[in-house]
Amino acid sequence: MNMKSETFQIASDIQWEDAGDGVVRQIMAYDDNLMMVKVKCEQGAVGPIHQHPHTQSTYVASGCFEVTIGDEKKTLKAGDGYYVAPNLPHGCVCLEAGILIDTFTPMRKDFLK
């Protein structure tokens, strides 16, 4: 199944989706092989430990997050990033409200309605 986003993503035209517990997301660019998602978190929001078969790379655009990947925990701020191998348990706690830019390969079909 060939799925893809529009060529350009205009943030003001993309609805924020409630991901629960103080987290909302905008699905930005994607095709079958890649997906970029903007994730906005309120202070205190928790992304519980989870895992998925996708490779993930995340850029911290703003805020401060305590990120756990496997057995390792780090505090990351704007400009930092992290990599998550497929099926590796990971999660985060938002220490200061901010935005994460998540990328996944292949795309997260479960994020599309």
What CATH number does the domain containing 40 carry? 2.60.120.10
In sequence order, the 6+-apart residues with CB closer than 8 A to the CB of 26 are: 11, 14, 15, 16, 17, 37, 38, 40
Other Cβ atoms less than 10 A from the Cβ of 25: the count is: 20
**Structural domain of residue 79, as residue ranges?**
19-111
* Residue 8 domain flag: no
How far apart, in whole angstroms, are the C-alpha atoms of residue 104 and residue 108?
A: 7
Q: How many angstroms separate the first and last alpha carbons of the chain?
A: 15
User: Would the pTM count as exceeding 0.85?
Assistant: yes
Taking only the tens place, the pLDDT of each residue in 74-83 is 999 999 999 9
Q: Is residue 12 part of a domain?
A: no
> Cα–Cα–Cα angle for 28, 101, 67, nearest 5°?
145
Confirm whether 1 is domain-assigned.
no
The predicted-structure confidence for 15-74, as pLDDT tens digits, reads as follows 999 999 999 999 999 999 999 999 999 999 999 999 999 999 999 999 999 999 999 999
